[in-house]
Amino acid sequence: MIQLSIREMAQLLRDKQLSIPELCSIYFDRARAFNQQTNALLKINCDIDPAELLQAEEALLDESKLLAGIPLVHKDLFCTQGMVTTCGSRMLENFVPPYDATVVSNLKDQGMITVAKANMDEFAMGSSNEHSAFGSVQNPWDLTRVPGGSSGGSAAAVAARMVPVATATDTGGSIRQPTALCGVTGIKPSYGRVSRYGMVAFASSLDQGGVMARTADDCGIVLSAMCGHDHKDSTSHPDAAWQWNLPTLKNLKGIKVGVVIDWIDGLNDEGVKQSTIKAIDTLRQQGAEIIDVALPHAHLAVSAYYVIAPAECSSNLSRFDGVRYGHRSIDTADLETLYVNSRSEGFGEEVKRRIMVGTWALSSGYYDAYYLKAQKIRRLIAEDFNKVFEQVDVLAAPVSPEVAFKQEEKADGVSMYQADVFTIPASLAGLPCLSMPIQSVHGLPVGLQLIGRYFDERSILNVAHQFQQVTEWHKAMPEAYK
């Protein structure tokens, strides 16, 4: 059952070979059983919410609603009405939103069942999930290693088949990197495709909601249901609605796949390097034309990102002042003390560090030299992509320069930041990207990143789907969780 696709589960439910409670109980049981080892989930519901079950039973009558009765977890930065939404932070430890994020309500409308909220790096700041205020997440493939971040809980939950689907968000790689490190498939759509309403903001010009699942087809089905224009989000694209359908072609003939040779040549991990080369060769064998391309400014992306993202973070997180919601210090002699103590007690160390960097980058004397310059470099990087997409349909690239690393191995923040070198460029340009498992190195998964033109999620999902028709890596799962 736990290896079934969404289409297969939907068929079983419609054929009445399985009821929604029966399907969900399998995953509720797995979620409870495996969370003790992985800490992937923060709040597991006791049982199916009766209102969600009713909505799912009604949705099941609609043939077009493939997600009716399918269980999922939401990353804990999507607001869920009446259900604690912590964002991995002490600041929001007791925050119970009075409304659902648009992503959550869209998926409820399709009849999906919420099993739990997924652990994450605090306010989505981190690449290892070691920065959650509620404990780090362990990678199901090796519990001594990180699952990646910031959506590490979502990735670990899908990897251990605690759920078939998890929502996630990506600012600089937070869907793709944990997806790769945990051996599942995940898509970060184009900026503006998915509403950010009800998503706790980190860096507003970069944050984008997406999905993790077992296969590209599953991701496409869920993304179709999540996306769409939302008048509550002024950055939601007017043409955001989109529908994924299984491709009719069974190969990649006529598809041009670009490869940044410098990126692959520069990989120090021989296992990751050879896996990437082999996966690209598989695409070639399936009929894709492989073309060498260059992104001459991409090496500046990490530097520009670590100015822009902290700047937006320092602005966004200024709303947490202990007055309207979130942690409020009991030591509040005056208003200033209320602000300072509430923020200092509520935020963790990594969040404070990024707020400080952002405050510095936006402060007098540094704005032009850093913030403005970073935004100009962002333009150069976006133009590099535009030129490349005049030649190719899709870019294939590494996701992470290494497999899952040991917990506490990267104590130095900068070395952790550098691990996002392949994911950040497309984030700055707002492009759709996907990560899929392509190999296992010493028992640990390796992912391949596919980057598409703005609003062309279909091409990257198609390439991933075709790859998954001739490979088995997306079916692999950790032995202990079978």
Partner 1 sequence: MSINRKEIEELADLAKLKLSKTQASEVGVAMNDIKQMIDLMNEADVTGIEPMFHPMDAVQRLRSDQVTDQSHQRALLSLSAHADNEHYLVPKVIE
Quick one: 77 or 112, whose CB is closer to partner 1?
77
Which is catalytic among the residues 43, 65, 75, 273? Answer: 75
Quick one: 214 or 343, whose CB is closer to partner 1?
343
- Closest by CA position to 213, among listed 129, 138, 157, 140: 157
Quick one: 10 or 307, whose CB is closer to partner 1?
307
The end-to-end CA distance of the chain, in Å, is 11
Q: Where are the alpha helices (DSSP H) in 318-470?
A: 335-346, 349-362, 373-388, 413-418, 424-429, 457-470
- Closest by CA position to 44, among listed 157, 199, 197, 186: 157
Cα 2 from Cα 310, distance rounded (Å):
39
The one among 60, 302, 397, 438 contacting partner 1 by CB under 8 A: 302
Structure-token pair, residue 357: 């960097």
Phi then psi dihedrals of residue 168, to 5 deg = -155, 175
The one among 64, 270, 414, 472 contacting partner 1 by CB under 8 A: 414
Q: Does 355 bind partner 1 (CB under 8 A)?
A: yes
Q: Which residue has the tokens 């997806």?
A: 179
Q: CB of 197: closest distance to partner 1 in angstroms?
A: 12
Cα 172 from Cα 218, distance rounded (Å):
23
Q: Which residue has the tokens 């070691």?
A: 130
The one among 12, 382, 441, 476 contacting partner 1 by CB under 8 A: 382
Phi then psi dihedrals of residue 6, to 5 deg = -60, -45
Cα 375 from Cα 422, distance rounded (Å):
18
The one among 101, 304, 403, 436 contacting partner 1 by CB under 8 A: 304
The one among 83, 201, 255, 307 contacting partner 1 by CB under 8 A: 307
Buried b (16+ CB within 10 A) or exposed e, 212-250: bbbbbbbbbbbbbbbbbebeebeebbeebebebeebeee
Q: CB of 453: closest distance to partner 1 in angstroms?
A: 13
Q: Does 143 bind partner 1 (CB under 8 A)?
A: no
Q: From residue 188 to residue 207, what is the string marking binding to partner 1 with x (rule CB under 8 A)?
A: ---xx------------xx-
> Which residues, other chains included, contact 17 with Cβ-Cβ below 8 Å and sequence gap of 6+?
none
Q: CB of 304: closest distance to partner 1 in angstroms?
A: 6
Q: CB of 345: closest distance to partner 1 in angstroms?
A: 9
Q: CB of 353: closest distance to partner 1 in angstroms?
A: 5
Give the binding range for partner 1 (CB under 8 A) out of 36-44, 64-72, 167-175, 332-340: 332-340
Quick one: 255 or 313, whose CB is closer to partner 1?
313
Cα 173 from Cα 126, distance rounded (Å):
10
Q: Does 370 bind partner 1 (CB under 8 A)?
A: yes
Q: From residue 279 to residue 298, what is the string marking binding to partner 1 with x (rule CB under 8 A)?
A: ------------------x-
Q: Does 380 bind partner 1 (CB under 8 A)?
A: yes
The one among 335, 367, 406, 480 contacting partner 1 by CB under 8 A: 335
Give the binding range for partner 1 (CB under 8 A) out of 103-111, 172-180, 333-341, 456-464: 333-341
Which is catalytic among the residues 128, 150, 224, 314? Answer: 150
Binding-site size for partner 1 (CB under 8 A) equals 69
Residues 80-139 that bind partner 1 (CB under 8 A): 95-96, 98
Which is catalytic among the residues 89, 128, 154, 174? Answer: 174
Quick one: 37 or 105, whose CB is closer to partner 1?
105
Q: CB of 409: closest distance to partner 1 in angstroms?
A: 17
Cα 307 from Cα 354, distance rounded (Å):
9
The yes-or-no answer on residue 151 being catalytic is no
Quick one: 284 or 367, whose CB is closer to partner 1?
367
Q: Judging by DSSP bridges, how do beta strands 113-118 and 71-75 pair with one another? A: parallel
Q: Judging by DSSP bridges, how do beta strands 394-398 and 256-260 pair with one another? A: parallel
Contact 154, 73 (CB under 8 A): yes
Quick one: 289 or 409, whose CB is closer to partner 1?
409
Contact 167, 157 (CB under 8 A): no
Q: CB of 380: closest distance to partner 1 in angstroms?
A: 6
The yes-or-no answer on residue 174 being catalytic is yes
Q: Which H helix or E strand runs over 225?
A: helix 216-226
Buried b (16+ CB within 10 A) or exposed e, 79-111: bbeebebbbbbbbbeebebeebbbbbbbbbebb
Contacts with partner 1 by CB under 8 A lie at: 95-96, 98, 191-192, 205-206, 231, 234-235, 237, 297, 299-300, 302-304, 306-307, 314, 318, 321-325, 328, 332-341, 343-344, 347, 349, 352-353, 355-357, 359-360, 363, 370, 372-380, 382, 412-414, 417-418, 428-430, 454
Q: Which residues are known catalytic residues?
A: 75, 150, 174
